[in-house]
C-alpha cells in the first residue's frame, strides 16, 4: 500500500469495480433525496447536516479560545462570550455528538450488519431527520435572534430569570429530543425483528449491541429532558414558580431532573463511539474480539448503571452526605464497564495481524482519551477530589476527553474505515495519517493545559481571569488552532476523494465485518441475494478466496 500524498494514481486495468448501480445514483433529483426512505440516503443526509453543525460548533469554540488568549477582554464583550460558550455547548451536544454516530453510521450500517433491507420504520426514519432539521432551525433562529447566555446546562434560577431569549433554544432542544427518541425506537425494533436467517443475538456485530444499548437510553432518558426544558421555558415565559425560589420553586430540583438525563446522555454519545471502535479494532487486528460477551454485555451494563449516578454532579450543591456517598460508589461501578472494554480491545491485538492505518491511528487516540478521560472521571467520583475540581477547567477537560475526544476519534475512524463502503472510493492514506497525528496532538495540546488550569483553580465560564492562568490558556488556544487545521485537511481530501479517489472495490481492507459482504457503494436493496449467516462477524480463521484483496503489496 504505497500512495504518494496528493496524487491519486491512475486506476490500473484490473482495478476493483465501482458498483455502477448503487443507492447514490438509483434515483436522481433533489426530490428523490428529500422524500427517500432508504436508510443509506438518510445516513448521507445526516452526514451533511451533522458535519455542518460540527463546523458551526467548532467556529464558536475557536472564538472562545481566541477570547481567552488574554486575561482581559480580547475580541468580544462578556455578554457575547457568555452566549458563545452556550451556543458551543448546545450545538456540539444536541446537534452533533448525540445524533452524529447513530444518525450517520447507525443508520447506514445497522441494517447492513443485520442482513436487513432497511430499518423497521423507513418513514419514521425520514421523520426523525426532519425533526432534527426543524429542531436545528429553531435553535439556530434562537442563536441569531438574541442567543441564550445560560450555558448548555440551563441552571435555574439563572436560566428562568435571564433577559436573553432562552425559549427558542429550549424548544429547539425539545424537538431534537423527539428526533433522538424516534431513531432509538427504530433501531430497537430493527434489531428485534429484521435480523436475517442465522443472525442470532450472539452473532450480532458488537456495533449493533452498543447502538442497541444507546437506543434504550435514548428512549428512557430523553423524555425527562424534554419535560424539564419545557418547564424552564414555561417558567421563563409565564413566571411559573417551579425552579425559582423567589417564586416558591426549588432550584436543586432542576439539577436532579437535568442530570437524570444528562448523565446517561454521556453514554448516548460514548456508546456509539465504543460501537465503532469495537469494529475498527477487529478489522485492524484481523481477529475476532477477545471477549465478545464481556464487550456486548458491558454496553448494556453501562446503559443500566448509568441511570443511577446523576447525583455526582451535585456534590457541592448541599446534597446530603449519604447521597453523595451512594452516587460516588455507583459512579465507580459504571467506570468498571468501560475498563472491561478497554482491556478486551487491547487483548484483541494478541495473536492478531495488525496493520497501521488512519483508522487504527484514531483507535489509538480513542483508547488514550478513554483511559485518561475515564480515570479522571473516577477521580472526580471520589467526592472529596471533586470538591476542588467541580465547575473548574478540570471538569471541562475531563468531559472533553471522555465525550468529545472519544466521539471525534470514533467519528473520524468510522468516516475513514467506512468511507470506501459508503462512497466506493478510497481516501488518500498519507494525508489521512498526517491529519490524524495533527488532530490527536492538537486535542492533547488543547485539553491537557485545561486539566492543569483546573488543578490551578480556574473556574469554567470565565470571561476574564487572574493573570496566573495566562500561559496555560495560551497553550490551550494554540492546541485548538492545530485541531482546526487538521479538520480542514480532512474536509478537503475527503471532498476530493468523492470524485477523484481511487476506486475501492467491495472490501479494500479485507474486513470480515458483515457490512463488507455487499458491493461498494451498496445497491439500494443492500444485498443482491438474501444473506444467510453461518458464523459470527470478524472470523479470520480462513484465508480469503482468490485474489480478492487487491492492494496487497
Partner 1 sequence: MNELMRKLLFLPEQGSAYATEVDRLHFFVITVTMVSAVAVAVVALAFFVKYKRRSERQTTPHVEPKAIHEVLFIAVPLTFFLLWFAIGFPLFVKLQTPPKDAMDVYVQGKKWMWKFAYPGGPSGVDVLRVPAGRPVRLLITSRDVIHSFYVPDFRLKQDAVPGRYSQTWFTASAPGRHQVLCAEYCGIGHSAMLAEIIAMEPAQYDAWLAETRRSTVATAQDSPEDRVDPRTSLSEQGRLLSGEYGCFKCHTVDGTRHIGPTWLDLYRKAEPLQDGKSVVADEAYLTESMMDPAAKIVAGYQNVMPTYQGRVPGPEIAAIVEFIRSLRTDAVRPEPSKGPVYVPVPGYDPTSAR
Pick the piece of the chain touching Cu ion (CB under 5 A) from 55-63, 224-232, 256-264, 540-548: 256-264
Pick the piece of the chain touching partner 1 (CB under 8 A) from 15-23, 59-67, 92-100, 157-165: 157-165
From Cu ion, partner 1, none, interface partner of 263 (C-beta below 5 to 8 A by class): Cu ion
Does residue 74 belong to the site contacting partner 1 (CB under 8 A)?
A: no
Nearer to partner 1, 20 or 325 (CB): 325
Pick the piece of the chain touching partner 1 (CB under 8 A) from 197-205, 305-313, 389-397, 488-496: 389-397
Does residue 488 belong to the site contacting partner 1 (CB under 8 A)?
A: no
Nearer to partner 1, 223 or 335 (CB): 335
Does residue 29 belong to the site contacting partner 1 (CB under 8 A)?
A: no
Cβ 148 to partner 1, closest distance in Å? 12
Cβ 20 to partner 1, closest distance in Å? 26
Task: Return the HEC string of 157-198.
Answer: CHHHHCCCCCHHHHHHHHHHHHHHHHHHHHHHHHHHHCCCCC
Contact partners, residue 304, CB within 8 Å, separation at least 6: none
Does residue 351 belong to the site contacting partner 1 (CB under 8 A)?
A: yes
The C-alpha atoms of residue 100 and residue 409 are separated, in whole angstroms, by 12
Peptide bond into 201 cis (omega under 30): no
Does residue 339 belong to the site contacting partner 1 (CB under 8 A)?
A: yes
Cβ 124 to partner 1, closest distance in Å? 38
Contact partners, residue 98, CB within 8 Å, separation at least 6: 176, 180, 265, 268, 269
Pick the piece of the chain touching Cu ion (CB under 5 A) from 76-84, 87-95, 261-269, 463-471: 261-269
Nearer to Cu ion, 392 or 477 (CB): 392
Closest residue by Cα to residue 463 from 202, 78, 188, 143:
78
Nearer to Cu ion, 301 or 521 (CB): 301
Contact 222, 263 (CB under 8 A): no
Contact 378, 428 (CB under 8 A): no
Cβ 142 to partner 1, closest distance in Å? 19
Does residue 65 belong to the site contacting Cu ion (CB under 5 A)?
A: no
Report how far apart, in Å, the C-alpha atoms of 247 and of each of 62, 156, 196, 223 are. Answer: 39, 12, 57, 25
From partner 1, Cu ion, none, interface partner of 262 (C-beta below 5 to 8 A by class): none
Which residue pairs, CB below 8 angstroms and at least 24 apart, start in 454-460? 454/389, 454/392, 454/393, 454/394, 454/395, 454/396, 454/397, 455/389, 455/394, 457/388, 457/392, 458/392, 458/393, 459/391, 459/392, 459/393, 460/391, 460/392, 460/393, 460/395, 460/396
Query: In this chain, which of 17, 35, 246, 528 binds partner 1, going by CB under 8 A?
Result: 246
Query: In this chain, which of 22, 107, 183, 390 binds partner 1, going by CB under 8 A?
Result: 390
Query: CA 264, 266, 272, 277: dihedral to nearest 10 degrees?
Result: -130
Could you say which residues in the range 272-331 bind partner 1, by CB under 8 A?
285-288, 290-291, 294, 315-318, 321, 324-325, 328-329
Does residue 398 belong to the site contacting Cu ion (CB under 5 A)?
A: no
b/e per residue, 441-473, with b = 16+ CB within 10 A? Answer: ebbbbbbbbbbbbbeeebebebbebeeebeebb
Cβ 338 to partner 1, closest distance in Å? 9
Nearer to Cu ion, 263 or 512 (CB): 263
The C-alpha atoms of residue 374 and residue 335 are separated, in whole angstroms, by 7
Pick the piece of the chain touching partner 1 (CB under 8 A) from 16-24, 188-196, 259-267, 534-542: 534-542
- 404 — phi, psi (to 5°)? -70, -45
Cβ 356 to partner 1, closest distance in Å? 8
Cβ 479 to Cu ion, closest distance in Å? 25
Residue whose grid cell is 479522571: 376
Nearer to partner 1, 42 or 148 (CB): 148
C-alpha cell at 522: 451498496
Query: In this chain, which of 65, 195, 236, 263 binds Cu ion, going by CB under 5 A?
Result: 263
Nearer to partner 1, 29 or 318 (CB): 318
Does residue 252 belong to the site contacting partner 1 (CB under 8 A)?
A: yes
C-alpha cell at 231: 418547564
Does residue 223 belong to the site contacting partner 1 (CB under 8 A)?
A: no
Binding track, positions 216-255, relative to Cu ion; x by CB under 5 A: ----------------------------------------
Residue 371: how many CB atoms within 10 A of its CB? 16
The C-alpha atoms of residue 453 and residue 472 are separated, in whole angstroms, by 7
Query: In this chain, which of 5, 354, 528, 532 binds partner 1, going by CB under 8 A?
Result: 354
Does residue 385 belong to the site contacting partner 1 (CB under 8 A)?
A: yes
Nearer to partner 1, 281 or 415 (CB): 281
In 382-424, which ranges are continuous DSSP H helix? 384-389, 393-399, 406-423
Cβ 61 to Cu ion, closest distance in Å? 22
Cβ 15 to partner 1, closest distance in Å? 16
From Cu ion, partner 1, none, interface partner of 80 (C-beta below 5 to 8 A by class): none
Does residue 420 belong to the site contacting partner 1 (CB under 8 A)?
A: no
Does residue 152 belong to the site contacting partner 1 (CB under 8 A)?
A: no
Residues forming a β-bridge with 503:
425
Does residue 378 belong to the site contacting partner 1 (CB under 8 A)?
A: yes
Cβ 74 to partner 1, closest distance in Å? 13
Contact 402, 342 (CB under 8 A): no
Does residue 238 belong to the site contacting partner 1 (CB under 8 A)?
A: no
> Count residues contacting Cu ion (CB under 5 A)?
1
Query: CA 138, 236, 241, 228: dihedral to nearest 10 degrees?
Result: 20
Does residue 41 belong to the site contacting Cu ion (CB under 5 A)?
A: no
147: alpha, beta or left? (left if phi > 0; alpha if psi -120 to 50) = left
Q: Transcribe 429-469 into DSSP letters.
A: HHHHHHHHHHHHHHHHHHHHHHHHHHHHTPBSS-SS--GGG
- Binding residues (CB under 5 A) for Cu ion: these are 263
Amino acid at each position: 500500500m504505497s500512495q504518494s500524498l496528493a496524487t491519486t494514481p491512475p486506476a490500473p486495468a484490473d482495478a476493483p469495480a465501482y458498483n455502477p448501480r448503487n443507492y447514490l445514483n438509483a434515483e436522481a433529483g433533489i426530490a428523490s433525496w428529500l422524500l427517500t426512505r432508504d436508510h443509506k440516503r438518510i445516513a448521507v443526509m445526516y452526514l451533511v447536516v451533522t458535519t455542518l453543525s460540527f463546523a458551526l460548533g467548532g467556529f464558536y469554540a475557536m472564538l472562545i479560545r481566541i477570547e481567552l488568549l488574554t486575561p482581559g477582554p480580547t475580541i468580544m464583550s462578556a455578554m457575547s462570550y457568555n452566549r458563545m460558550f452556550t451556543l458551543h455547548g448546545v450545538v456540539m451536544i444536541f446537534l452533533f455528538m448525540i445524533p452524529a454516530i447513530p444518525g450517520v453510521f447507525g443508520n447506514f450500517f445497522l441494517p447492513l450488519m443485520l442482513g436487513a433491507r432497511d430499518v423497521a420504520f423507513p418513514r419514521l426514519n425520514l421523520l426523525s431527520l426532519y425533526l432534527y432539521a426543524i429542531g436545528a432551525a429553531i435553535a439556530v433562529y434562537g442563536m441569531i435572534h438574541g442567543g441564550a447566555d445560560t450555558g448548555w446546562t440551563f441552571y435555574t434560577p439563572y436560566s428562568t430569570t435571564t433577559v436573553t431569549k432562552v425559549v427558542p433554544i429550549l424548544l429547539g432542544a425539545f424537538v431534537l429530543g423527539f428526533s433522538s427518541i424516534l431513531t432509538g425506537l427504530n433501531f430497537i425494533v430493527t434489531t428485534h425483528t429484521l435480523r436475517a436467517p442465522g443472525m442470532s443475538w450472539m452473532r450480532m456485530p458488537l456495533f449493533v449491541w452498543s447502538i442497541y444499548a444507546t437506543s434504550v437510553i435514548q428512549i428512557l432518558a430523553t423524555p425527562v429532558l424534554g419535560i424539564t426544558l419545557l418547564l424552564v421555558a414555561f417558567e421563563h415565559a409565564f413566571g411559573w414558580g417551579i425552579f425559582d425560589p423567589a417564586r416558591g420553586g426549588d432550584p436543586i430540583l432542576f439539577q436532579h431532573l437535568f442530570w437524570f438525563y444528562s448523565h446517561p446522555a454521556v453514554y448516548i454519545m460514548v456508546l456509539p463511539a465504543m460501537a465503532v471502535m469495537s469494529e475498527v479494532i477487529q478489522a485492524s487486528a484481523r481477529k475476532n474480539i477477545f471477549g465478545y460477551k464481556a464487550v456486548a454485555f458491558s454496553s448494556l451494563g453501562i446503559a443500566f448503571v448509568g441511570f443511577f449516578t446523576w447525583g455526582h454532579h451535585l456534590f457541592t450543591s448541599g446534597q446530603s452526605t449519604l447521597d453523595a456517598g451512594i452516587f460516588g460508589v455507583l459512579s465507580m461501578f459504571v467506570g468498571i464497564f468501560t475498563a472491561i472494554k478497554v482491556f478486551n480491545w487491547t487483548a484483541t491485538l494478541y495473536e492478531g495481524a495488525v496493520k497501521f492505518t488512519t483508522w487504527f491511528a484514531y483507535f489509538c487516540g480513542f483508547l488514550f482519551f478513554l483511559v485518561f478521560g475515564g480515570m479522571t472521571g473516577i477521580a472526580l467520583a471520589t467526592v472529596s477530589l471533586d470538591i476542588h475540581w467541580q465547575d473548574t477547567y478540570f471538569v471541562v477537560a475531563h468531559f472533553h476527553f471522555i465525550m468529545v475526544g472519544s466521539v471525534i476519534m470514533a467519528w473520524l475512524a468510522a468516516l475513514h474505515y467506512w468511507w470506501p463502503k459508503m462512497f466506493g472510493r478510497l481516501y488518500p492514506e498519507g494525508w489521512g495519517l498526517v491529519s490524524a497525528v495533527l488532530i490527536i496532538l492538537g486535542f492533547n495540546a488543547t485539553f491537557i493545559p485545561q486539566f492543569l488550569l483546573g488543578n490551578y483553580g480556574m473556574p469554567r465560564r470565565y470571561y476574564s481571569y487572574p493573570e496566573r492562568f495566562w500561559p496555560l490558556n495560551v497553550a490551550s488556544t494554540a492546541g485548538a488552532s492545530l485541531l482546526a487545521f487538521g479538520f480542514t485537511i480532512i474536509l478537503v481530501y475527503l471532498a476530493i476523494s468523492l470524485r477523484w479517489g481511487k476506486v475501492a472495490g467491495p472490501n479494500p481492507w479485507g474486513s470480515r465485518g458483515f457490512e463488507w459482504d455487499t458491493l461498494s457503494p451498496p445497491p439500494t436493496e443492500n444485498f443482491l441475494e438474501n444473506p444467510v449467516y453461518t458464523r459470527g462477524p470478524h472470523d479470520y480463521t480462513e484465508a480469503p478466496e482468490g485474489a480478492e484483496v487487491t492492494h496487497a503489496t
